[in-house]
C-alpha cells in the first residue's frame, strides 16, 4: 500500500496510490510535457525540444527525497521539479533545456498537478459510491416489510421499516454524491497564467497555447487563470464534507444497531476484520469506525481550506501553499468513508427476528401514541393523553403489556372493542406512509438515472 502507516486508516489503497510521491511528481511532469507539446504546436517551442522534454519526464528517474528537501527551501513544489527536469533534459540535449517550463509559473505546475490527481480520484470515488448506492437500493427492497423500532432521542419510538431507514441513507448519499460529481466537474480545469496571470511572456499566443494545453491535458480550458480564486476547489472540498457527514450518519446508525444489547445488524466479518486484541468474542464495527473517523476529521479540513481562500492580489503568500495536504486528506478521507460503507452495505447481516423481538420487549409502550389517537376521538386529546400517561406508569410498574392493561380499564374497554385492543401492538398496522416514503426515495433516484 502506498500510504504511510500514520495515514493507513484515512485512505484507501487506490487513493493512496493517486496521492503517492511518485504519482504527484508524475502529475507535475505531465503538465510540463503537455505544455511543451502545446507550445510546439503553436510554434513557440521547437518540436524537437518538446520531444526531449517528454523523454525526460518520468518520475522514476528523479530523486524524490531530494526534491522534497528542495521544496521546503523554495516554498513551492514547482521550482525544484522544473530545475531537476531542466537538468535531465540538458544532460541529453543541451539545446532543448532552455525550453522547459516556457512561459509558465510554479503555481501553474502545482495547481494543474492537483487537478490531474483529482481527476483520477473522481473515478475511484464515483466507483465506490456507485457500489454503495446499488447495494443500498437492493437492501431497501429486500427489507421493505422488515419492521423495527423507530428510535428518537435514542429512545424507543413507534415502528418503522428497515427498508425505509436504508432508503433514507440512500437518498442522502445520492444527493451528496451528485453534488460531489458536479463539484468535481467544475473544479477540473487546468491552471496556466504565467507570472501575473496574463501569459505576457507568450505575447499574442497565450490563449492559443492555453487552448492547446487544455487539449493535451484532457481538461477544460478556464476563461482565465485562477491563481487566487479558489472557489471551485472550495466547493469540491465542502461537498466532500457534506458527503462524508452523510456517510457518517449511516455509519453511526449501523454501529448503534450492532451494539450487543441491540444486535439487529452486523458488518461483514472475515479474516482480520472486526476482532479485538484482547476480547475474542467481539465483532467490532470497523468500517463504521473508519467512516466516523473520516466524518470527524473532514469538517476541520474544510474549515482549514476555507480560511485559506482569502488570497491577496494575483499570487498569494501561504494560501495556496497550504492546500495540497488539505485537499489530499479531504479526498482520501471521503474515499475511505465511501469504500468502507460500500463494503458494509454489500455484506450487511440483518436479523429481522431480533428487530421484532426488540419491538416486543417494549411491552407495547411504543404503541401508546396509537392508543391515544384512537381514544382521542372519544375522550378528546388531552384526556386521552393523561389516561395513557397513567396507564404507561402502571404497565411499567406491573411489567404488563400496555394492551392488556388498557383492556382492564373501563373507560377504554367501553370505547374500544376487544379486537382493536388485540391488534394494537401489531407493528405492521402502525407504519403510516413508511412504504410510500421509501418508494418515493427509490423512485426519485431511479428516475434521475433514467434521465441521464
Q: Is the dihedral of CA 339, 342, 346, 350 positive or negative?
A: positive
For the purposes of burial, counting CB atoms within 10 Å of the CB of 218, is it exposed (0-12), middle (13-18) or buried (19 or more)? exposed
The one catalytic residue among 315, 363, 370, 438: 315
CA distance 450 to 142: 22
Of 172, 86, 89, 99, give the one whose Cα is nearest residue 133.
172
Active site residue 276: yes
At 104, phi and psi to the nearest 5?
-100, 175
CB contact at 8 A, 38 and 120? no
Whole-angstrom distance, CA of residue 297 vs CA of residue 309: 20
Q: What is the DSSP string of 267-282?
A: ----TTSS--SS-TT-
**DSSP 3-state assignment of 243?**
helix
Cβ pair 307, 301 in contact under 8 A: no
Quick one: cell of 216? 493535451
Query: What DSSP letter does each residue of 70-95 carry, written as one string?
Result: HHHHHTSSHHHHHHHHHHHHHHH-HH
CA 391 to chain centre: 47
* Candidates 8, 276, 307, 349; catalytic one: 276
- The answer to whether residue 349 is catalytic is no
What separation in angstroms does the CA of 84 have from each of 23, 37, 68, 238, 279? 16, 19, 12, 35, 53
Q: Tell me if residue 350 falls in helix, strand or coil.
A: strand
* CA 230 vs CA 125, 174, 284, 320: distances in Å: 22, 26, 40, 8
Cβ-based neighbour number of residue 205 at 10 Å: 16
Catalytic residues: 276, 315
Amino acid at each position: 500500500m502506498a500510504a504511510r502507516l500514520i495515514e493507513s486508516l484515512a485512505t484507501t489503497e487506490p487513493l493512496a496510490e493517486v496521492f503517492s510521491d511518485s504519482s504527484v511528481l508524475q502529475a507535475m511532469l505531465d503538465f510540463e510535457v503537455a505544455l511543451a507539446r502545446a507550445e510546439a504546436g503553436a510554434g513557440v517551442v521547437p518540436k524537437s525540444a518538446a520531444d526531449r522534454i517528454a523523454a525526460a519526464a518520468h518520475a522514476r528517474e528523479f530523486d524524490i527525497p531530494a526534491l522534497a528537501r528542495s521544496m521546503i527551501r523554495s516554498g513551492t513544489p514547482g521550482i525544484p521539479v522544473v530545475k531537476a527536469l531542466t537538468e535531465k533534459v540538458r544532460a541529453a540535449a543541451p539545446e532543448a533545456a532552455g525550453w522547459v517550463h516556457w512561459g509558465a509559473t510554479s503555481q501553474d505546475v502545482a495547481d494543474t498537478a492537483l487537478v490531474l490527481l483529482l481527476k483520477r480520484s473522481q473515478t475511484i470515488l464515483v466507483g465506490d459510491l456507485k457500489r454503495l448506492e446499488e447495494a443500498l437500493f437492493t437492501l431497501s427492497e429486500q427489507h421493505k416489510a422488515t419492521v423495527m423500532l423507530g428510535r428518537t432521542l435514542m429512545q424507543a419510538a413507534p415502528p418503522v421499516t428497515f427498508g425505509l431507514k436504508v432508503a433514507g441513507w440512500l437518498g442522502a448519499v445520492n444527493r451528496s454524491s451528485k453534488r460531489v460529481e458536479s463539484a468535481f466537474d467544475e473544479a477540473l480545469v487546468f491552471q496556466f497564467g504565467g507570472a501575473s496571470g496574463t501569459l505576457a511572456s507568450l505575447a499574442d499566443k497565450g490563449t492559443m497555447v492555453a487552448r492547446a494545453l487544455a487539449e493535451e491535458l484532457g481538461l477544460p480550458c478556464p476563461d482565465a487563470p485562477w491563481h487566487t480564486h479558489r472557489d471551485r476547489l472550495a466547493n469540491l472540498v465542502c461537498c466532500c464534507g457534506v458527503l462524508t457527514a452523510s456517510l457518517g450518519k449511516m455509519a453511526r446508525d449501523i454501529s448503534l444497531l450492532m451494539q450487543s444489547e441491540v444486535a439487529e445488524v452486523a458488518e461483514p466479518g472475515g479474516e482480520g476484520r472486526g476482532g479485538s486484541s484482547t476480547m475474542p468474542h467481539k465483532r467490532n464495527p470497523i468500517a463504521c469506525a473508519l467512516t466516523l473517523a473520516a466524518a470527524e476529521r473532514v469538517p476541520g479540513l474544510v474549515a482549514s481550506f476555507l480560511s485559506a481562500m482569502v488570497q491577496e492580489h494575483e499570487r498569494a503568500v501561504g494560501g495556496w501553499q497550504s492546500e495540497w495536504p488539505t485537499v489530499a486528506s479531504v479526498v482520501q478521507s471521503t474515499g475511505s468513508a465511501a469504500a468502507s460503507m460500500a463494503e458494509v452495505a454489500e455484506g450487511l447481516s440483518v436479523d429481522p427476528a431480533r428487530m421484532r423481538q426488540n419491538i416486543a420487549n417494549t411491552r407495547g409502550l411504543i404503541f401508546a401514541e396509537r392508543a391515544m389517537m384512537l381514544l382521542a376521538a372519544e375522550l378528546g386529546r388531552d384526556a386521552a393523553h393523561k389516561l395513557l400517561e397513567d396507564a404507561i406508569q402502571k404497565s411499567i410498574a406491573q411489567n404488563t403489556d400496555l394492551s392488556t392493561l388498557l383492556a382492564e380499564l373501563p373507560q377504554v374497554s367501553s370505547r374500544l372493542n376487544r379486537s382493536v385492543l388485540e391488534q394494537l401492538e401489531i407493528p405492521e398496522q402502525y407504519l403510516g406512509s413508511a412504504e410510500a416514503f421509501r418508494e418515493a426515495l427509490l423512485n426519485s433516484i431511479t428516475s434521475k438515472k433514467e434521465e441521464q
